[in-house]
Amino acid sequence: MATEETGGFNIHPMDQFVVKPLFGGDELHWYTVTNQTLWLFLTVVVIVLLMVVSVRGRAMVPTRSQSIAEVIYGFVRKMIEDIAGQEGLKYFPYIFTLFMFILVANVIGLLPKSFTTTSHIVVTGVLAMAVFISVTVLGFVKHGLGFLKLFWIGSAPLPLRPVLLIIEVISYFVRPLSHSIRLAGNMMAGHAVIKVFAGFAGAMGLGAIAPIFAIVAVYGLETLVVCIQAYVFTILTCVYLNDALHPGH
Amino acid sequence: MEGDIEVMGRLIGAGLACTGMGGAAVGVGHVVGNFLAGALRNPAAAAGQTATMFIGIAFAEALGIFSFLVALLLMYAF
């Protein structure tokens, strides 16, 4: 591949996902402060500002930021109640934390020049594995070996059950994979698309107005996608939780 | 024009793997289209089913994401 290309087309769409140390040096250790660390930290700061500081007044007539916090709270609570039932509300803090973290990380990742932490499978993989392990443990704690009824579908005809057993087992263990890659893939693909259009704009000179409109449109779409992906991650967590609480089909 | 034939094969394979995403696009469109068709017939019941629609989208999308994963593995993991 030619590295010295002429014409302005030299924006590499994947460069924005490179993890690099903030304070000099090129080596990465587990304690190195990278741009990843910075944006994860900013995510937590924004969540604390929104959910702790802004509701500190506990006003009867909420301020703007307090009402945002209240709307999100009520939204997640209703989602859990609809999907996992009344029992699921016990796990509300965990699911709400997941939703807030993913939503805020996605949204601040959309800022120009920022780093999208959720575009890395490392981050989403940890979140998805945490959900997977805790849901599996919860299922066995609640129902003992009865949890395995999730794989042995009683309502299906008997000859079909072994086949369904295989399908169910595979789909169960593929969950953390699809759960994490869905989020990371959507984030990565969307941001890369914006960068590709930016590369077109750089190469076209005065005709760049068309790609710039395209960037605006894609950016609007991305704003929708980041919220929907946070929603989808959370709602799938609720579905898995529901499976653990009520394993019979 | 020089290079490794293995790299060429990997890149072609990654490109072919991405055709699987078209299947996911058809699946997601099918889910949403049918939801909309049903919602226009009975708008009163639609609001309660949006969560189900998103779950359906997520499951349809997961299989397209596996093809994306194969493409990524071919390009970076070998």
Q: In chain B, where are the structural domains located? A: 20-77
Q: Which residues of B touch A13 (CB under 8 A)?
A: none
Q: Note whether A182 contacts B: Cβ–Cβ < 8 A.
A: yes
Taking all residues of chain B, what is their mean pLDDT, rounded to a whole number? Answer: 87
- Model confidence at A19: pLDDT above 50: yes
Chain A nearest CA to B19, separation (Å): 15
What is the pLDDT, as a whole number, of residue B4? Answer: 86
pTM assigned to the model: 0.86
CB contact under 8 A, A239 and B57: no
C-alpha distances (whole Å) from A146 to each of A81, A151, A245, A248 are 23, 10, 11, 9
* Number of H-type helices and E-type strands within chain B: 4, 0
Q: Which residues of B touch A231 (CB under 8 A)?
A: 54
User: What 3-state class would DSSP assign to A32?
Assistant: coil
Lowest-pLDDT range, A69-78, A131-140, A203-212, B32-41? A203-212
Closest CA to B73 of B4, B10, B9: B10
First to last CA, chain B: 23
Q: Which one of B63, B68, B70, B76 would you mutate to disrupt binding with A, by most A Cβ within 10 Å of its Cβ?
A: B68
Q: Which residues of A touch B52 (CB under 8 A)?
A: none
